[in-house]
Structure 1
Amino acid sequence: MARHTEDREDLLRDATALVPRVMLQVEIEERTVEVFAGFRNGEALSLYFDSDPVFHFNSAGHLRRAFAAGHILKASQGRLVSWSPQRTESRVTMASEELTTEKQEQLGKRMLALLCNLKNAMARQQFTLMGQVPADGDGLERLSSWLESHSGFTIAELPNVS
C-alpha cells in the first residue's frame, strides 16, 4: 500500500474490467457529484460517489466492499470489517475492526439514501452523461434497472465478486 494517497484514477478510461461503465454528473443532497458506475461479471456493480463513498456489490446485489469516511470496508460472514491505514514515517500497516450493528445500520441508511437519490435523478433525467464505455453501450439502462431492482441493504458473506 502506498504511503501517500492520491486522487483516484480516471475510472471511465482505466476500469477496463467493468463493462459497461458510465460517468454521470448528478445533483445529490444539494451538491454536484460525479457518479461512476460499472458492471463486473454481469450484475456485480461498482458505484463511486466522487471518491467517497464507494460501494461494490456482488451479482446478488449484496454489499461486498466499500470505502467510506476514509475506511476500507469488507464483508466477512455477513458483517462489515473496517480496515484503516495506520501511517508512520517508515511504513503503513492496516488495523481491522468489525463494525458495530449501529455503524452498519448507519452505513446502510446512508447508502440507501444515495442510491434512492441517484435512482430518482435518473428517472427524472436530471443528470449529465459525462461518458460511457462502450460509447454506444447500455450502461445507463443497466444502472437504472439495477437501481430499480435493489432497494435493500444486505451484506455479502464474502468480499469477492461471485
Structure 2
Amino acid sequence: MAKQTDDREDLLRDGTAMPVRGRLWVDRAEVVIGFRSQGQLSLYWDQDPVFQFDESCRLRRVFIDSCRLKAENGKLVRLRQPHESIDRPVERLRMVTEPISADDEAAILQRLSDRLQQIDATLDRMMLAGDQTLLQTVGATPPEFARRVRAWIANWNRSMGVAGGPSA
C-alpha cells in the first residue's frame, strides 16, 4: 500500500470492483467503504488498516500495521514471503502462513470494532444534522449509502466472526 497520498489510487474514483462505495472523513482519517456485487464490504482506513469481509459479514482479509493476514479455518493467520536461499531459483510469489496468538487476533478484532463504532457515530451525526456534504458516494445516494453501512455494521456487531478462508 502506498504511504503517500500522491502514490495511491483514488478508490472512490477507481474502485470499480465495488459498485457501491463511499468516502468520508472520520477525525482526520480518510475512510473508503465499498460493497462488492455480492454485498462483501471492504473498509480502507487511510492506507492502514484495511479490512475485507465476505458476504456473511465475516472478516476474510486484513492489512494492519503493514502486516497481511487472511482467514483460515475461522482464525486469522499472518501472510509473509519466505526467505529464499541465494542458491534457489526465484519462484513465483509465494506466501507462507503463520498463526497469530489469540490475544493478537482479539486486539485486531477490537481495533476493527472501534473503527466501525467511529464510522457509525460519524454517519449518525451526518444524518441527524442532515449534512452529507462530507460523504461522497458512487452507486447510491449519501443517505442510502449511510443507511446501508450502518445496517452492515449492526450485522457485523452481532457476529464479529472470521471467515473460514480468504475467499469463503
TM bucket, shorter chain: 0.7 to 0.9
The share of aligned pairs that are identical, in percent, is 34
CA distance in 2, matches of 1:77, 1:83: 15
CA shift at 1:117, angstroms?
Answer: 1.3
Alignment of 1:1-162 (within 5 A): 6=2, 7-27=7-27, 32-85=28-81, 94-125=95-126, 129-134=134-139, 136=141, 138-151=144-157, 152-160=159-167, 162=168
More helix by share: 2
One-letter identity of the residue aligned with 1:43: G
Q: Which has the higher strand share?
A: 1
Following TM superposition, by how much is the alpha carbon of 1:42 offset from its aligned partner in structure 2, in angstroms?
Answer: 3.3
Once the 2 structures are TM-superposed, how far is the Cα of residue 135 of structure 1 from its aligned partner?
6.3
The normalised TM-score by structure 2 is 0.78
The 10-residue stretch of structure 1 (150-159 or 70-79) with the greater mean CA deviation from structure 2:
150-159
Question: Structure 1 length as normaliser, TM-score?
Answer: 0.81
- How far is 1:122 from its partner? 1.1
Shift of 1:13: 1.3
Query: In the aligned structure 2, how far is the partner of 1:112 from the partner of 1:144?
Result: 13
1-structure distance, mates of 2:138, 2:83: 36
Q: Deviations over 1:112-150 (max 9, x none)?
A: 111111111111118753521136473222112212222
SS at match of 1:148: helix
Count of residues in correspondence between the two structures? 152
AA of the residue aligned to 2:124: A
Q: Larger radius of gyration, structure 1 or 2?
A: 2
CA contact (8 A) 2:20 2:140 kept: no
Q: CA 1:87–1:61 in structure 2 vs 1: closer, same or farther (change >3 Å)? A: same
Amino acid corresponding to residue 164 of structure 2 in structure 1 = E
